[in-house]
Chains A and B, each alone.
Chain A
Amino acid sequence: MSTSNLKVETMAEFAARGEMPEILFWVGCSGSFDDRAKKITRAIVKILNHVGIKFAVLGTEESCTGDHAKRAGNEFLFQMQAMQNITVLNGYQIKKIVTGCPHCFNTIKHEYPELGGNYEVIHHTELVRQLIAEGKLSVQGGSFQGKKITYHDPCYLGRANNIYEAPREIIAELDADLSEMKRSRAKGLCCGAGGAQMFKEAEKGNKEVNIERAEEALASQPNVIAVACPFCNVMMTDGVKHFNKEQEVKVLDVAELVVQANNL
C-alpha cells in the first residue's frame, strides 16, 4: 500500500475547524526522519487510532526540542529551539502532550516550564498502560505469548523520570516471559546514545557502550529486546548486529510489541 491507512491530523487542521484534540502527539526528530524510528511512530499512531483518541501532530510546525544541543553544552541553541516550540504550543493552547521519545519527554516536561512552556507530558508507554488499565485497549499476547523478552531501560525514562513499571506492565500483558538484565531499572546501563553521543564518534576506549549493553541483553537469549526510546533502538539494533544475532533477536519498541501482537 502506498497511501496511508493511518488517520493523522495536524494541529493546524484542528485549529482551522476550531477544534481541540484530546492530546498532542509529539513525534520527535527520530520519529519523523529516522527510518527505523518512523515505524515506531506508526505503531504509536495505530494504537491511538485503534482506541479512537482524538489526537493531533504539529507536523511541519514541530522542531527539535533541543535536548541534544542542551546536553552538548549549547544552551543558546537549546533555548532557541525551546522558545520556538513553546511559541507554537502556547499559540495552540496545548495542554497535554504524549511523546514517542524519552528525550523529548524529559525536555518538554522538565526544561520547558522555566521558559514558559507548561504542559502535562506523558510518554507513550504510560499512555498505553493507562489505556489498558481503563479497559480501552485490550492487549493479547499473540505471537509474543511465552516468548522471552528482555527490557532495556532508557536512561531518560528510567533514572531521569522514574518510569520503570509502565513498559514492564505492558510486556506482562503480552503473557511473555520477561527476563531482566543483570543491570536493570535504576542500575540499567546506558545504550551509549545520550548526551549527544548519537551524533559523534565515541571517545577512545576499549569497547562501544552499545556492544556492552547488547551483550548483556543477549545473555539471557531472549527472542526480543524491548526498548522504549528510538535512540536506544538504534544502538541496540546495531549491537545485536555486531553479534550477528539479528535473525534470532528482534529489537522492538514496546508500542510495536502491542501493535504486532494484536494485529492493529
Chain B
Amino acid sequence: MISIAVFCLLTLASVWLFNRNIGRIRKSVLSGREFSPKGNFNEHFSTMLRVALGQGKMVSRPLSAVMHIFVYVGFVLINIEVIEMMVDGFIGLHRTFHFLGSFYDFLIGFFEILALLVFIGVVVFWLRRNLGRIKRFMSNDLNGFPRLDANAILIAEIFMMSALLTMNATDQVLQSRSVTGYHVAGSFPVSKWITFCFSGMSSDSLILLERGAWWFHIMGIFAFLNYLPFSKHLHIILAFPNTFFTSVKPMGQLNNLEAVTDVVKPNFDPSYVPREIDPNATPIAFGARDVFDLNWKQLLDAYTCTECGRCSSSCPANTTGKLLSPRKIMMSTRDRMEDVAKNKAANGGNFVDDGKSLLHDYISAEELWACTTCNACVQECPVNIDPLSIIIEMRRYLVMEKSEAPAALNGMFSNLENNGAPWQFSPSDRLNWVNENQ
C-alpha cells in the first residue's frame, strides 16, 4: 500500500532529521567548559522529579500552573495514543489495539478528555499572551521570531487537538454505519458532542475527512518534533536534564575561580600546591567573553529557556526600566550559540572568527552592570536556569581581563586594596563604634 510506504518514509525522515538537529545541539552544549554539579545522584534526581516532572516551581502562578499541567499531561499522555497511530500507520490497520476491549475504550475516552483540556489550556494561553496585557509577554525581548514562535505553537496545538477530535467524531459516524474497516472501538465522551456536524455527510467524504485528520495529526507531530530544536519549546525535553544537573549549592554561593586561587593562595599558605597546568595548553581567560568561555550547564540553560520571562518580571533591574533582562541574557546566549553552530557548519566544523562575541555584540556591558545579584531570576525560573552565573562570568571578564569596571567600582576596588574596606576609612578606625554613643 502506498500510504504505508509514505508513512514509513516520512517517519524515518523525521526521526533522522530530529536526531541530527538534537545531535548538533548536544555537541554545541558539550563544547562548553567543564562544570561539576557536585551533588549525588539522588539529590539531582529528586530535583528533576520535583521541578521538571512535578512542575514544582510553576505553582507560584496558579492559573498558568493549572493550564500548563493540562497541556503538559495532555502532551505526554496523548502521545501514548500516538503509539497506536504509529502502529496503525505501519501496518495499515485501524485502531489496532481495540482488542484491549473495555480498557481500550477507557483509554480513548481518557485521551479525549485530555485533548479537551489541552484545547482549553492553549486557548487560555493564547488569550493571556495576546490580550492579557501581561508585561513579560509584551516586552521587547520577544520581538521578532520569539513572539511568532510562541503563538505558532499555540495555534498549531489548537489545530492538532481539533484534528484529533474530528478524527474521532467522523470515526464514530463511520462506525455507526458499519463501514468496512471502521469496526466499533473506543468511547468518545468529548467528540460525541460534535458528531452531529458530520452525520449528514456521505461515508466517502467522512472517510476522506477521517483519514485527513489522522494524517494531519501524525504529520503535525513529526513537524513539531522537527520544529523543537529551533524553538523555545525545546524545554519539553531539556527541562529534564537541565533540572537534573542543577548544581546543589545555596543560591548565594558563587563559584570559586580555581585559576585565581592558584595565584593568590600560595602567598598566604606556602603549603598550598597549585593544580598542575599543562604548559602547552593555551591559557584560558578569566571570566567569559563569548559562549566558548561558558560551561556546559550555562549553555544547556540557554537551550532550555522557555522564554517565559518570569525571571525578568521579578528582576529589580528590569522592572525599574534598566536594560538588563535575565531572559534576554539567556536568549542572547542561545542566539550566539546558534550563530556559532551555523558558522561551524559553513566552515567544515571549524569556527571562523566572525568579529563578534557574546559580550558587546549580543549582551552589552550596561546590561551586566545593572544586576544586583539578588537571585530573584534564579528563584523564579521554572526550569532551574541561572542567568546570574553568566552575568558574573562576563563581569569577571570585563574586570579582570579588560579593567573595564565602571569608574565608581574601580574606586571601590582601590579602597579595598588600600584600606580593607570599600570606603575610604582607615583600618585603624574599625573599632570606633565602641566608643560612639549615637
Contacts and interface: CB of A to CB of B under 8 A. Distances in A.
Interface string A72-103: 11111101110110110000000000000000
A1 B437 contact: yes
A4 B400 contact: no
B321 A206 contact: yes
Interface string B372-405: 1111101100000000000010111111100001
Given A33-B423, A110-B250, A209-B317, A79 B372 contact: no
B416 A189 contact: no
B427 A73 contact: no
A60 B428 contact: yes
A137 B417 CA distance: 40
Interface string A163-207: 000000000000000000001001101101111111111111111
A199 B411 CA distance: 9
Contact of B268 (A39, A71, A84, A186): A84
Interface in B240-286: 249-254, 256-257, 260-261, 263-265, 267-269, 286
B400 A74 contact: yes
Contact of A27 (B320, B376, B428, B430): B430
A222 interface: no
A31 B433 contact: yes
B251 A75 contact: no
A54 interface: no
A99 B425 CA distance: 20
Contact of B396 (A29, A75, A83, A183): A75
B346 to A, nearest CB: 34
B375 A159 contact: yes
A147 interface: no
Interface residues of B, number: 73
Interface of B: 60, 249-254, 256-257, 260-261, 263-265, 267-269, 286-287, 314, 316-317, 319-324, 366, 369-376, 378-379, 392, 394-400, 405-406, 408-409, 411-413, 416-417, 420-423, 425, 427-438
20 contacts: A2-B437, A4-B435, A33-B421, A62-B430, A71-B254, A71-B373, A73-B287, A74-B413, A75-B400, A79-B265, A84-B420, A106-B252, A114-B261, A161-B252, A187-B60, A195-B372, A195-B374, A196-B409, A204-B322, A205-B370
Interface of A: 1-6, 8, 10, 27, 29, 31-34, 38-39, 41-42, 45, 57, 59-60, 62-64, 66, 68-77, 79-81, 83-84, 86-87, 106, 110-111, 114-116, 155-156, 159-162, 183, 186-187, 189-190, 192-209, 212-213
User: What are the nearest 7 A-B pairs in CB distance?
Assistant: A160-B252, A73-B395, A195-B373, A206-B321, A63-B420, A190-B374, A205-B321
Given A10-B431, A63-B427, A204-B321, 16 more contacts: A63-B420, A68-B416, A74-B405, A76-B400, A79-B261, A79-B265, A87-B268, A106-B253, A114-B261, A159-B374, A159-B375, A190-B372, A200-B412, A203-B370, A205-B321, A205-B370
